[in-house]
Amino acid sequence: MTNTVKNAEKMLEKITEQVRTLLGEHLVSITVFGSAADGQLRRSSDVNVLLELRRFEFSAIDQLREAVRVAHAAVRLQVMVVLSSELASTSELFAVKFQDILDRHRVLYGPDPFATTRVSREATVRQLRQMVLNQLLKIRERYLLVSLREEQLIPLIADSAGPIRVAASIFSKLELSAADATHSKDVIHPKRALEKYVSTLAPRQNHPWTGILENLSTARETLTLPPGLAIETFRALHELLLDMHKRAESLTIQEQTP
């Protein structure tokens, strides 16, 4: 277990106790999701927690602010606060995020809020398209601003790792037939899903996809890359997102029949 994971686990234990004490009867459940749920935290990772509440009472929330601020500074804690009555609509509106949460979450307190949650294919496809296009527009904007200094591209590459990997895992689910999806118990980790996705792409002559993915992991884990690799990695990720955008546009909206 790395120091990053150990520190996050200690902080999660502490914040869980503080939330239970301070929110009391307003609290339904506490769930950690994403990399913190499956032990894959890296230096650039956020620790994502969902608080499910019966009611949002400012008097109770105000008591929690300092604890959350300290945890955010210590381990990049990010807290999503959702009322029980909002879970179904939130999962549809943020379908890609919730598809990933369904695959990678760990309940720290209370009942599992996702035990019976199902996100529709229509919502997932629509948001996948939006997410991929948004990521394309974002990295182009940042490229214009920072690419004169290659080292300034590295944080952008690191930040792109999560969304691109999650998109790949969503593609792997959506491209299953309904029958296969119903019977499949396997969850493909986003990193593995991206490796599978790039295996379908034409090989890159200048820098093979295996090397690009290694650079992506290095940037995410260390926030460094050897000189000369950031530009090539960035351009490859742009190429990858273009392919994802094209593939997302080709997906059917309706559920596939067996």
Residue 11: inside a domain: yes
pLDDT tens for each residue of 137-176: 999 999 999 999 999 999 999 999 999 999 999 999 898 7
| Number of structural domains found in the chain | 2
Read off the CATH number of the domain in which 102 is found: 3.30.460.10
pLDDT value at residue 198:
96
Burial zone of 20 (CB within 10 Å; 0-12 exposed, 13-18 middle, 19+ buried):
middle
Share of the chain above pLDDT 70, in %: 93
Residue 197: inside a domain: yes
Tell me, yes or no, whether 55 and 147 share the same domain: no
Last residue of a domain, one of 80, 109, 138: 109
pLDDT tens for each residue of 14-62: 999 999 999 999 999 999 999 889 877 776 788 999 999 999 999 999 9
Tell me, yes or no, whether 93 and 56 share the same domain: yes
Tell me, yes or no, whether 44 and 104 share the same domain: yes
Tell me, yes or no, whether 144 and 242 share the same domain: yes
- 47 contacts 37 by C-beta, under 8 angstroms: no
Q: At what angle do helices 153-174 and 229-250 cross, to 10 degrees?
A: 30
Token representation of residue 231: 């530009």
Structural domain boundaries, residue 16: 3-109
Tell me, yes or no, whether 146 and 242 share the same domain: yes
Residue 116: inside a domain: no
End-to-end CA distance of the chain: 43
Residue 115: inside a domain: no
Tell me, yes or no, whether 93 and 126 share the same domain: no
